[in-house]
Structure 1
Amino acid sequence: MFSFLVKRLFQALIVMFVISLVAFAIQDNLGDPLRELVGQSVSESERQALRDELGLNDPFITKYTRFVGNALQGDLGTSYFFKRPAVEVILDKLVATLELVFGA
């Protein structure tokens, strides 16, 4: 029984890794997040400086490992849309989500 649980836990970790990798790759390739953050009125040199500051010019593997490390500490980053920490946005919508889940 113990070996079964260990095997299932290992499989769950692999699935979570693959899902996080695919989701991060999709998000990373969607476009320029600076367009949402600062708009079109910023010069290219300022955009480049902001990209360097935010780590957007880093290689994919560097950005992914930074994302995973922060996520394991509970920091999911900042929502580009709401301009708030992503954890706050998720928690705000959690009550309605749970009502739908348990109501179904």
Structure 2
Amino acid sequence: MQKLMTIEEFEPLTAKGKTIFFFTADWCGDCSFIKPVMPEIVENHPDMTFVEVDRDKFIDLCGDLSIFGIPSFVAFENGSEIGRFVNKDRKTKEEIESFISTL
């Protein structure tokens, strides 16, 4: 999984293919809970690009996308948002896989 390093990278990452943005923060307990299974989720979906977004570094982007709880996931395909799994609740591997299956 790659990490969003600059805000300028965001739009190009949304423009080509399917990209899932994983919004997280180091201090977030629920994010720490799910991070160990993220490599397996990424491996299960080689047709998608996964990008980790540090909520604290990109707080304005989170506001623009209405990301008010983490961990959260927003998916884009060819420049358009196609789905989101956004709330403040802890997420399980099964819930994330279920979300991805709807895309």
TM-score range, shorter chain: under 0.3
Structure with the larger RCO, 1 or 2 (CA within 8 Å, 6+ apart): 2
Is the helix fraction higher in 1 or 2? 1
TM-score normalised over the length of structure 2: 0.27
- Pair member with larger Rg: 1
Q: Which has the higher strand share?
A: 2
TM-score when normalising by structure 1: 0.26
